[in-house]
Amino acid sequence: MKINVFHISTPVISEYNKLGLDKSKLLDMLETMILIRTFEEKVEELYLREGVLMGPAHLYFGSEAIAAGVKHFLRKGDLVLSHHRGHGHAIMLGIELTKLFAELLGFKEGNLRGLGGSMHLPVDISKGGLYASAIVGSQVPIAVGVAFYHKYRRTGNVTIVFFGDGATNTGAFAEGLVMASFLRVPLILMCEDNKYAEFTRTSDLFGDEDVIIQRFLGYNVPILVVDGNDPLSVYKGLKIYEDELRSGEGPLAVVASTYRLKGHGVYDKALYKPLGEVELYGKLKDPIMMFANRLIIEGILTHDEFKVIFEKAKQAVEKAFEEARKGSPLTIEELYNYV
Ligand SMILES: Cc1ncc(C[n+]2csc(CCOP(=O)(O)OP(=O)(O)O)c2C)c(N)n1
Ligand SMILES: [Mg+2]
């Protein structure tokens, strides 16, 4: 069996055209990342400072580049399956911010009528968000069935399933991979390797940073290793395989190396992380700052425009929250409609 591991570098300017990237797409990638971060800053504040939100919330802080890169690859009809850390995927899909806040508040105006909450936020079939599960790894075999639909019907669409580095420890992941490979379905297995699974540093389990890549070996699938802190590396990797996937062939495994800047959930201060690690990733390797710097150096963005993007995101988030808080939960009688 051939072992196909490909490391995807970030494209240089001269490649942009070939990859279908123009100024508006590059700026949209940055705007998407900033909108995700700003939305989650508000979510964190509502949980921790104001006590308005309750229950679990697993923040996407640090992994925004993955959603921004995938967003520009997806086409109408493609389907997304997500996991418990899916706020960034919800914004990637373009679900309205007001609906997302209403969902977090448990209000009927939410995209799942307030019945799903944070761990099911990226679900809105009209936008391609099919499913999200908090049972780690369980979405992988389900995604194989969804991708098989695309193959069987020859739709030209792809399915993408997001999961974490920790999910590669599950039996569901391994079973899903066996079936995906056997059926050759157009499925992108997107592993968001944020280096932690709850309170455990994944590499500490095995003393090896590359353990996640090794998890995909032996299934006869191509493995792309992309920089999950760079939307262009993510996008480029997917584009290279686009024709194959859209002709109904696959699957494709992607290991997107990134970093979980926050604790596991909003409640977790992550005091178990090595000293200086968060500072390194948060200050020197922050995906938003790195991508913005790059666009500034390449003459695509100015400092002032960068500030305006932040201000606009803040306004959009505040406006959406103010609108959402006017909503209300389903009544007890209405709840029975969904049992
Ligand atoms: C089958 C299963 N086992 C354990 C848990 C508890 N749990 C919730 S999130 C999580 C860690 C998952 O880590 P990873 O897959 O890396 O995703 P991340 O939280 O880092 O995004 C665990 C163990 C669960 N929800 N489901
Ligand atoms: Mg993880």
Q: Could you tell me how many helices (H) and strands (E) the chain has, helices first?
A: 14, 9
Residue 338 domain-assigned?
no
Ligand 1: which residue has its CA nearest to atom 6? 136
The values of phi and psi at residue 224, to 5°, are -100, 130
Structural domain boundaries, residue 264: 5-326
Starting at the earlier edge strand, list the strands of the sheet with 223-227.
5-7, 223-227, 252-257, 187-193, 159-164, 79-82, 129-132
Pocket test for ligand 1, best of 198, 203, 273 (most atoms within 8 A of CB): 198
Q: Which residues contact 172 (CB under 8 A, 6 or more apart)?
A: 135, 137, 138, 140, 141
Question: Looking at the predicted structure, is the pLDDT value of residue 207 above 80?
Answer: no
Establish if 331 belongs to a structural domain: no
Name the one residue in this structure whose structure tokens are 């490649």. Answer: 15
Pocket of ligand 1 (CB under 6 A): 58, 84-85, 134-136, 163-167, 170, 194, 196-198, 260, 264
Express the helix, strand and coil content of the chain in percent, nearest 5 each. 50, 10, 40
Structural domains counted in the chain: 1
Mean pLDDT of the chain: 96
Tell me if 339 is assigned to some domain.
no
Ligand whose nearest atom lies closest to the CA of 63? 1
d(Cα 150, Cα 105) in Å, to the nearest integer? Answer: 35
Q: Count Cα atoms within 13 angstroms, Cβ side, for 267.
A: 8
Say if residue 339's pLDDT is above 90: no
Between 206 and 179, where is the model more confident?
A: 179
Inside any domain, residue 229: yes
CA atoms lying within 13 Å on the CB side of residue 219: 26
CA-nearest of 194, 228, 186, 229 to 74 is 186
Q: Relative to the CA of 137, which ligand 1 atom is closest?
A: 1
Checking if the pLDDT of 184 tops 70, the result is yes
**Band of residue 324 on the pLDDT scale cut at 50, 70, 90:** very high
Percent of the chain with pLDDT over 90: 93
Cα distance between residue 156 and residue 110, in whole Å: 31
CA-closest residue to ligand 1 atom 11: 197
Of 2-6, 250-254, 274-278, the range with the lowest mean pLDDT is 2-6
What's the pTM? 0.98
Per-residue pLDDT at 1 exceeds 70: no
Domain assignment of residue 173, yes or no:
yes
Residue 208's pLDDT is 77
User: Among the listed ranges 151-155, 200-204, 246-250, which one has the minimum average pLDDT value?
Assistant: 200-204
Q: What pLDDT does 253 receive? A: 98
Q: Quick one: which of 37, 139, 47, 128 has its CA closest to 88? A: 37
| Nearest atom of ligand 1 to the alpha carbon of 164 | 15
Please count the other Cβ atoms lying within 10 Å of the Cβ belonging to residue 113: 18
Judge whether 100 lies within some domain.
yes
What would the pLDDT profile of 7-37 be if each residue is shown by its tens digit?
999 999 999 999 999 999 999 999 999 999 9
Is the residue at 336 inside a domain?
no
Is residue 206, in this structure, part of any structural domain at all? yes
pLDDT confidence bin for 203, thresholds 50/70/90: confident
Rounded CA-CA distance 61/186 in Å is 29
Give the domain CATH number at 169: 3.40.50.970
Q: Read off the pLDDT of residues 35-92 as tens digits, 9 standing for 90 and up.
A: 999 999 999 999 999 999 988 999 999 999 999 999 999 999 999 999 999 999 999 9
257-310 residue pLDDT tens: 999 999 999 999 999 999 999 999 998 899 999 999 999 999 999 999 999 999
Question: Could you tell me which residues come within 8 angstroms of residue 211 by beta carbon, excluding any fewer than 6 positions away?
Answer: 202, 203, 205
Q: What is the pLDDT of residue 262?
A: 97
Residue 83 gets which letter from DSSP? -
Mutate to test the pocket of ligand 1, among 136, 196, 262 (most ligand atoms within 8 A of CB): 136
